[in-house]
Amino acid sequence: MQVGLKAVCALAIAGLALGLAATVHADSLTVKTEQGKVHGKTINEGKVKAFLGLPYAAAPVGELRWKAPEPPVKWKGERNATKFGAHCAQNHVFDDIIFEDSGPSEDCLFLNVYAPADFTDKSKLPVMFWIHGGGYAVGASSEPRHNGDFLPTKGVVLVTINYRMGVFGFLAAADLGHEANGAAGNYGLLDMVAALQWVKTNITRFGGDPDNVTIFGESAGSFAVSTLMAAPAARGLFQKAIGESGAAFSDVLPTDALEAREKKDGEWVASLGVKSLQELRALPTDKVLDAAKAKGTNGFPPAIDGKLLTEPVADTYAAGKQAHVPLLAGWNRDEGSFFAMRGMTAVQWKGFAAGLFKDRAAEFLTLYPGDTDEQALRAAIDYGSDAFIAFGTWKWLEAHRKTGDSPVYRYHLELAAPPSKFHPGSFAFHSDDIEYVFGTLDTRPGAVWRPEDRKLSEQMMGYWTNFAKTGDPNGPGLPEWPKYDKVDSLIHLDSAITSGPDTLRPRYEFLLKGMPAMDF
């Protein structure tokens, strides 16, 4: 009897130990990656675990400046993953981009992982891989508007990344091409591929499913999504795509032919007075950035480098050679709200039409009418929106619908946000979607949010995460979102969500006949 009691007690103690071990595993903030152990923190009242500042590639400094990313360095012991890594070196452009990291650096190839607090390495949750915008020139993963406090509560693992930008991300001088056997530039895009490869290798340990990854981004991040879908090097690293306001079907961020870029960028390098790549790589970061200012915000866009991209992105889609994955994309009603700041009258608008479209001006004015000053201002915002963002994004949706062999969903964000510190007007402006998608409305300085804003944010979070889970944004409690691949229908994201046919198609078909260049 005594022996039996001891055995029962031993079993009970062993069971308790196993239970405690399981609890410790489930609650642990330490995860072992391929590079070493990382220790994160809990956020959002314990609902989410965050692992910040994880290096996905070697520091691109010294001899690695303007080279394809190298594998990250391994470490011993436990890495503190409770703070963001440095954001990538950049010139200041937009006041509404706010960073929560230690500052700029060329040593910036970090990513962050946010997961539901109860994740285990068996969870197999869908992964959402965020690429920030900023014209391929500015921005970072530490911006509070796309933090990971809330999306993971919808049952996903969120990854946000830094990538090289501007002159450090896309310089395409000929000497760099010779060094890389014919390919130069696109280091920022190669960084994205490297980060996706890191996710493929490590995300299981954070509860994610490496075979269910959705890439998504806004503005330049959306341009990048459309480009990665065309890049063979990224094939198989993601299974779904979301684009918010932008696509590489536009001249706003052109993808230049390599020969032209090598000439222009070579002239810029020559202006620095350096005589070798060694001297170029030895220049201080600030000196490089100061010299790059002369080329403007969009002075260093991607190039057709012959390796990552061998042809224009639109040609890849036309041939049906892009990744055949479900696509959800759209834009905001007032992407051209900058026209409201410039003002517009009926007389000015008709003069604008005649000057820009000449013998097509009458047709233009039937699509963008401006018979009164109020109507002219609305038409200016609409045309600015189309020329800046909508037309290129529409062409992407149309191209993938024709050749992508996958479901396509299209949206139009129409709810005008309340005025805020950096956006005094009431518009559905460019980048307005970010806080709605991430549930981070309260990070926008000075905004006084209404119940309809919070309701729409919750609905958009539902649509986006449903799509990441299944390739279909529809789900319980959400208005039906029809496919765009079989009928010319889209969803209108407003205080009351509705769906219906595309009434704006005639505008885009008009622009297909030719759209003069505009200075944005």
Give the per-residue SS3 of 218-277: ECHHHHHHHHHHHCHHHCCCCCEEEEECCCCCCCCCCCEEHHHHHHHHHHHHHHCCCCCH
Alpha-carbon span 55 to 38, nearest angstrom: 11
- Whether 499 is catalytic: no
Q: Tell me the mean pLDDT in the region 179-204.
A: 93
9 pLDDT band, cuts 50/70/90, is: very low
> Mean of the per-residue pLDDT values for the chain?
92
With a cut of 80, say whether residue 101 has pLDDT above it: yes
518 pLDDT band, cuts 50/70/90, is: low
Alpha-carbon span 26 to 421, nearest angstrom: 41
Residue 481: enclosing H or E segment and its boundaries?
A: none
Claim: this prediction has a pTM higher than 0.85? yes
Percent of the chain with pLDDT over 90: 85
With a cut of 70, say whether residue 75 has pLDDT above it: yes
pLDDT of residue 21: 38
16 pLDDT band, cuts 50/70/90, is: very low
Alpha-carbon span 298 to 346, nearest angstrom: 32
Select from 250, 275, 189 the least CA-distant residue to 224: 189
3 pLDDT band, cuts 50/70/90, is: very low
Lowest-confidence segment of 14-23, 289-298, 381-390 by average pLDDT:
14-23
With a cut of 60, say whether residue 4 has pLDDT above it: no
Q: Tell me the mean pLDDT in the region 390-400.
A: 98
Residue of 141, 142, 146, 219 with catalytic role: 219
Q: Tell me the mean pLDDT in the region 111-123.
A: 97
With a cut of 70, say whether residue 176 has pLDDT above it: yes
pLDDT of residue 265: 94
List domains and CATH numbers for the chain: 38-339+390-512 (3.40.50.1820)
Burial bucket for residue 488 (CB in 10 Å: 0-12, 13-18, 19+): middle
How many CA atoms, within 13 angstroms, populate the side-chain half-sphere of residue 5? Answer: 2
pLDDT of residue 251: 86
How do residues 355-380 score in pLDDT, each as one tens digit? 999 999 999 999 999 999 999 999 99
Kindly report each contact of residues 434-437 with a partner whose C-beta sits within 8 Å and lies 24 or more positions away, as own/partner: 434/145, 434/146, 434/218, 434/244, 435/145, 436/460, 436/461, 437/151, 437/244, 437/461, 437/464
Alpha-carbon span 68 to 194, nearest angstrom: 9
Q: Tell me the mean pLDDT in the region 385-410.
A: 97
- Whether 430 is catalytic: yes
How do residues 25-45 score in pLDDT, each as one tens digit? 445 899 999 999 999 999 999
pLDDT of residue 182: 72
Residue of 106, 244, 262, 335 with catalytic role: 335
Q: Tell me the mean pLDDT in the region 280-298.
A: 92
Alpha-carbon span 224 to 170, nearest angstrom: 13
Rounded to the nearest 5 percent, the helix, strand and coil shares of the chain are 40, 15, 40
444 pLDDT band, cuts 50/70/90, is: very high
Q: Tell me the mean pLDDT in the region 134-145.
A: 97
Q: Tell me the mean pLDDT in the region 402-411.
A: 98
Q: Which DSSP string corresponds to 98-112?
A: ---SS-EES---EEE
Partners of 105 in the β-ladder: 88
pLDDT of residue 428: 96
How do residues 460-508 score in pLDDT, each as one tens digit? 999 999 999 999 999 999 999 999 988 899 999 999 999 999 999 999 9
Residue of 430, 431, 435, 457 with catalytic role: 430
With a cut of 80, say whether residue 235 has pLDDT above it: yes
Alpha-carbon span 41 to 33, nearest angstrom: 16
- Whether 335 is catalytic: yes
List phi, psi (to 5°) of 52.
-110, 150
With a cut of 90, say whether residue 340 has pLDDT above it: no
pLDDT of residue 1: 35
How many CA atoms, within 13 angstroms, populate the side-chain half-sphere of residue 378? Answer: 9
The number of angstroms, rounded, from the C-alpha of 233 to the middle of its chain's C-alpha atoms is: 18
Kindly report each contact of residues 445-453 with a partner whose C-beta sits within 8 Å and lies 24 or more positions away, as own/partner: 445/98, 445/420, 445/421, 446/419, 446/420, 446/421, 446/422, 447/417, 447/418, 447/419, 447/420, 447/421, 448/418, 449/418, 450/418, 452/415, 452/495, 453/415, 453/417, 453/418
Select from 467, 499, 492 the least CA-distant residue to 126: 467
Q: Tell me the mean pLDDT in the region 211-235.
A: 98
pLDDT of residue 357: 96
Alpha-carbon span 137 to 106, nearest angstrom: 13
With a cut of 90, say whether residue 183 has pLDDT above it: no
Lowest-confidence segment of 178-187, 237-246, 386-395 by average pLDDT:
178-187
CA distances from 333 to 327, 368, 429, 453 (A): 20, 14, 7, 16
421 pLDDT band, cuts 50/70/90, is: very high
HEC assignment per residue over 130-193: EECCCCCCCCCCCCHHHCCCCHHHHCCEEEEECCCCHHHHHCCCHHHHHHCCCCCCCHHHHHHH
Lowest-confidence segment of 19-23, 184-188, 342-346, 406-410 by average pLDDT:
19-23
pLDDT of residue 519: 61
With a cut of 90, say whether residue 181 has pLDDT above it: no
With a cut of 80, say whether residue 7 has pLDDT above it: no
